[in-house]
Amino acid sequence: MTTLKKGDKAPNFSGLDQEGKSHQLADYSGKKLVVFFYPKANTPGCTAEACDLRDNFERFQANNYALLGVSADSAKAQAKFKDKYEFPFPLLADEDKSVIQAFGVWGPKKFMGKEYDGIHRTTFVIDEKGIIEDVISDVKTKAHAAQILK
């Protein structure tokens, strides 16, 4: 699991969103960046989390935040998810898991008694200079914006 913590320099990631557009840490210099990792597009918890962020998007913008969702879903799955719920932020299709690995959110999980490797739902708040301001690993899917904009 993630070894990144508050005060660390954020990984200099690079990934493609649902439209094939490249996003990297440098693109967000001068803005606060919320990078939220979720296990799978269109599942109940991930939908609740992303919709809560969408519903509070104006509050994020008013506070100079950019948002970036990341999962290992395909660009097609991310595009469907984004269009279905009208998310105003990009979703990275990290199929090779390079961004997921850079942030250290891939690892063993348990669900209904089964163990498997997957994405741990984790959010990183990165400041204007690329320093991690907060790491939220206990994500409240229906009230995630409140956890970030405290």
Catalytic residues: 46
Q: Collapsing DSSP states into helix, strand and coil, what is residue 23?
A: strand
Instruction: Categorise residue 91: left if φ over 0, alpha if ψ from -120 to 50, beta otherwise.
Output: beta
HSE-up of residue 52 (Cα within 13 Å, Cβ side): 18
Taking a C-beta distance cutoff of 8 angstroms, is the pair 95, 69 a contact?
no
HSE-up of residue 129 (Cα within 13 Å, Cβ side): 5
Cα separation, 114 vs 67, in Å, equals 32
Residue 49 burial class via C-beta count within 10 angstroms: exposed 0-12, middle 13-18, buried 19 and up: buried
Taking a C-beta distance cutoff of 8 angstroms, is the pair 70, 93 a contact?
no
